[in-house]
């Protein structure tokens, strides 16, 4: 079987952070001031990287390689966008972190995207709830029935010759 060359564009999330101090009267004012000044923070002040043990890699596009064209993905560079979901796995709290690109999307397209995201998140939620109920049922059965009775099996003795 003859093999064909493909070029695949992969994307991985890189999360950077910087600690800043602001003067404000209330917490919400401090948050607003920090966000407003984020664009003025020099790039070399930001810290962070890709955490491979916590985040996956996404395939943006795959296409057959034709020649040595280095700019094969030029026409699709800006097509894919990402929305962030922020989670606190300890408390179970989560929220959507909206991105600036959403402001340029039509209302109808945003509704379509949200329906797709909501459907996939609903499936994950249902799987999580089902897994929890399975665990709770097993645990409840254990509490109701008590410890299992363990009867040791005795092996027949082999007589030595």
Q: Are residues 58 and 105 in the same domain?
A: no
Model confidence at 157, in pLDDT bands (50, 70, 90)? confident
Write the pLDDT tens digit of every residue in 16-58. 999 999 999 999 999 999 999 999 999 999 999 888 888 888 8
> Does 140 reside within a domain?
yes
Q: Is residue 55 part of a domain?
A: yes
When pLDDT is cut at 50, 70 and 90, the band that residue 111 belongs to is very high
Which among 120, 13, 9, 88 has a CA at the least distance from the CA of 56?
Answer: 13
Residue 107 lies in a domain: yes
Give per-residue burial for 123-151: e unless 16+ CB within 10 Å, then b. Answer: eeeeeeeeeeeeeeeeeeeeeeeeeeeee
Whether 6 and 62 share a structural domain: yes
Give residue 62's pLDDT. 78
In the prediction, which pLDDT does 35 show?
92
How far is the C-alpha of 142 from the C-alpha of 136, rounded, in Å?
A: 10
76 vs 65, higher pLDDT: 65
In a domain, 157, yes or no: no
Angle among Cα 50, 55, 61 to the nearest 5 degrees reads 90
Count how many domains the chain has: 2
Residue 31: give the domain boundaries. Answer: 1-68
* One domain for residues 114 and 64: no
160 within a domain of the structure (yes/no): no
What confidence score (pLDDT) does residue 10 get?
85
Q: Is the dihedral of CA 115, 119, 124, 126 positive or negative?
A: positive
**pTM for this structure?**
0.63
Structure tokens at 105: 């999307």
């Amino acid at each position: 079987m003859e093999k064909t060359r493909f070029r695949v564009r992969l994307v991985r999330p890189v999360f950077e952070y910087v600690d800043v101090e602001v003067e404000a009267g209330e917490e919400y004012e401090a948050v607003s001031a920090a966000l407003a000044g984020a664009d003025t923070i020099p790039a070399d002040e930001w810290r962070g990287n890709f955490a491979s043990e916590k985040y996956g890699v996404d395939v943006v596009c795959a296409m057959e390689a034709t020649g040595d064209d280095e700019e094969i993905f030029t026409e699709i560079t800006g097509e894919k966008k990402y929305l962030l979901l922020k989670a606190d796995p300890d408390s179970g709290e989560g929220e959507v972190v909206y991105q600036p690109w959403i402001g340029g999307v039509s209302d109808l397209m945003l509704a379509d995207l949200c329906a797709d995201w909501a459907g996939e998140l609903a499936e994950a939620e249902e799987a999580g709830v089902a897994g929890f109920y399975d665990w709770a049922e097993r645990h409840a059965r254990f509490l109701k029935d008590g410890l299992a009775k363990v009867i040791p099996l005795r092996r027949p003795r082999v007589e030595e010759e």
